Structure 1
Amino acid sequence: MAETERADLGAMVMRLGRRLLAMEQPILEHHGVSMWGYVVLTALRDGPARAQATLAAAIGADKTRLIPILDDLQRRGLIERDPDPADRRVRLLQLTPEGRTLQKAVQKDIRAAEEAILAGTEDREAFVRALEALSRAVS
């Protein structure tokens, strides 16, 4: 196919993104977590975030819309928001053991569903590496 005959990258990414989101939604519902809740759990997986505003910026969320999500995750015992010993005006956000378990379970199910989508894809490892590189390049 000639270069001018292929779909634009945006069109291809949007089609794939819509399919992936549709695939993830029942998994998230099964685990009782919203998409943004899962994004927060995943962002906190590697360590605590110093301040809600920092977390919001890291995940590309509006900090005012993030507060109810954090409230829900905390109420459910999935995250903790504790005063930072270095600055008590700041809250450290971190996963609880239950939050870590839930994040891992959701991610395991999402990865299994991704594998089903990628199964027929030639050179899928190269696709995933390229997607990771593009994602880093635009962050």
Structure 2
Amino acid sequence: MWGGLVGILVVAWAAALWRFDVRERRLPAWLTLPAAAGALPWISLAGCAWAGLYLALGVARGGIGGGDIKLALSLGIAVAHVTGWPGVLAAVFLANVATLVAQAARWHWAGAGDPAPAHGPGMLAAAGSVLAWGMWGPHGI
């Protein structure tokens, strides 16, 4: 029973983040910080890698916001808990591929001057895909 309720809450949280990022072009702290805090009991080096990478890139090059970094922490911890390092690396890769595909689609339909797409939806889709594969894939539950 609790697993189903938690699943519904996680899906509702991800949908709210997705919609907020697409509409407002930012991920609000009131959605990202509680998730990061809730993930802390399962913290690991692999789990922090995604957020650490985004923090380093944000400092060095810009273009990555604090919301993306906070979201990467909770998603990274969850993915690492289920799949370890390979899953975290796959999620980071897939998130960036998803955003690049969204960018190419926007340029195709709206022109090259259109702003870059939100990155949060790509992060959520990638983490969800890797978690699903880790939990129910060939070697999962």
Query: Which structure shows the bigger proportion of residues in helix conformation?
Result: 2
Larger radius of gyration: 1
Query: Which structure shows the bigger proportion of residues in strand conformation?
Result: 1
Fold conserved between structures, TM > 0.5: no
Higher relative contact order (CA 8 A, sep 6+): 2
Task: Tell me the TM-score normalised to structure 1 length.
Answer: 0.29
